[in-house]
Amino acid sequence: MIDTIDGTPSEERFYLVPLSERGPAPPRVVASYGFWLFLLSDIIIFSALFAAYAVLSTHTDGGPGGAQLFNPAHVLIETSCLLVSSFTCGVMMISIDRRSARSTYCWALLTALLGAAFLWFELTEFRDMVLLGAGPSRSAFLSAFFALVGTHGLHVTLGIAWLIAMMAQVATLGFRPMVMNRLLCFSLFWHALDIVWIGVFTIVYLGVHR
């Protein structure tokens, strides 16, 4: 028998209550909302770095520019590694929703390896540029380039370390709600890095050929 007040079933009364008065939001929603705020603050940092690069990209001080330094094939492979890692991260989240530990570990490993490959290509590019005498102190253009791309690389490094720590938590704690919320935040972080890199690829690397 359905409980009623003033002839209105309790189930119907629940939906008549405004959303803001139905109680606190689930922890998963609160965690994702709070982390989006963090990501927005991170986007502001990258926006400032993009703006600095846009202003200084032509200030080479007589030194080499992007057209002389960037290797398109190298950058394409580097970009492919990071974009594919976004796909493997998404499949990892599907495995997490299904509570499949073995599948989660496999896709997490692929995501970390692709991220590490991306970093290897990036560090190789930095090394080659420094050996050619095109380090960050050579010109304003190179200072802005190393600051922008290096900051993104630092975020990828931290993301890989975070993923390793989360897999350790899955192994020890299992798929608890707390762990699931943290993995959701990691997924948002990793996909945000891919979006930022698309901006870097378009503005920095493709921009030199316009």
Q: What are phi and psi of 9, to 5 degrees?
A: -60, 145
Tokens representing 157? 């490094």
Query: What mean pLDDT is predicted for residues 36-46?
Result: 87
Query: What mean pLDDT is predicted for residues 139-146?
Result: 91
**CA 167 to the chain's CA centroid:** 17
How far, CA to CA in Å, does 30 sit from each of 110, 111, 184, 185, 189? 29, 26, 12, 11, 16
Q: What is the pLDDT of residues 60-84, one digit of tens each?
A: 877 787 788 888 888 999 999 999 9
Domains of the chain: 27-209 (1.20.120.80)
Question: Rounded CA gap, 10 and 205, in Å?
Answer: 60
- Do 106 and 193 form a contact (C-beta atoms < 8 A)? no
